[in-house]
Amino acid sequence: MKRILFTALLLVVMVTSGLFSDTVTEAQYNEPGQVNLTGVVGLNVFGLSVGAGAELIMGDLDFIPEFPMEWGLAARGVFSFYLLNSYTGTEYGVAPLVTLHKGFNFGDNLEFDFTIGMGLGLYGYNYSYFGYPYAEPINLGFASFDSVSWKMSEKMWLTLEYSYVGRGSVYGVGVRMVM
């Protein structure tokens, strides 16, 4: 439910900011052939999560002429450590994704790139609860990586991201590097 709300909120912000505001200008921050490398770190309910991935920007997507976007292909992964005394374990997931980017310039060095990525991914987990181990084989499930990035320099962006692969989710803060 959280990922649906986050994705819906992201879409509302993308659409309303670009269509109904005179002070906000649309911007394109990604060029065809550009590679974006992303790394995030976040906390989950039971411990620490990390995520990493690479994305290749494929080109412009202009199916709505008043609302141009860029699209790309990405490979992303998440890994979570559960560190409580009575509950320990790991959770992991990897996914190929199709991504959509929409950029906005709010002026005064406030440049943002909103990204939605969706696909199918592989995930699994194993844990021990009060000494009783449990392991789940690798499964196939829905994957979503949604982020808002703030442009700090031409090659570096600060990223807030929500990641989901099959079973687990991660809210993280990280860096996106443009190659």
Q: What is the DSSP string of 35-51?
A: EEEEEEEEE-SSEEEEE
The model's pTM = 0.80
Confidence class for position 4, pLDDT limits 50, 70, 90: low
Place of tokens 């790309």: 72
Residues 47-95: pLDDT tens digits? 899 999 999 999 988 777 777 889 999 999 999 988 877 778 888 999 9
Q: Which of 16-30, 43-57, 147-161 has the lowest mean pLDDT?
A: 16-30
Whether domain 2-8+36-102+114-178 has CATH 1.10.3470: the reply is no
Measured distance CA(116)–CA(55) in Å, rounded: 12
More confident residue, 14 or 20: 14
- Give 89's strand partners: 82, 127
Q: How high does pLDDT run on average in the chain? A: 85
Task: For residue 52, give the nearest of 30, 70, 74, 82 by alpha carbon.
Answer: 74
Higher-pLDDT residue of 175 and 88 is 175
Over range 126-144, report the average pLDDT: 87
Question: How confident is the model at residue 22, as a pLDDT?
Answer: 56
Name the phi and psi angles at 84, rounded to 5: -75, 155
Under DSSP, the state recorded for 84 is -
Share of the chain residues as helix, strand and coil, in percent rounded to the nearest 5: 10, 70, 20
Q: Please name which of 169, 120, 121 lies closest in space to residue 146, comparing C-alpha atoms.
A: 169
Tokens of 124: 């699994």
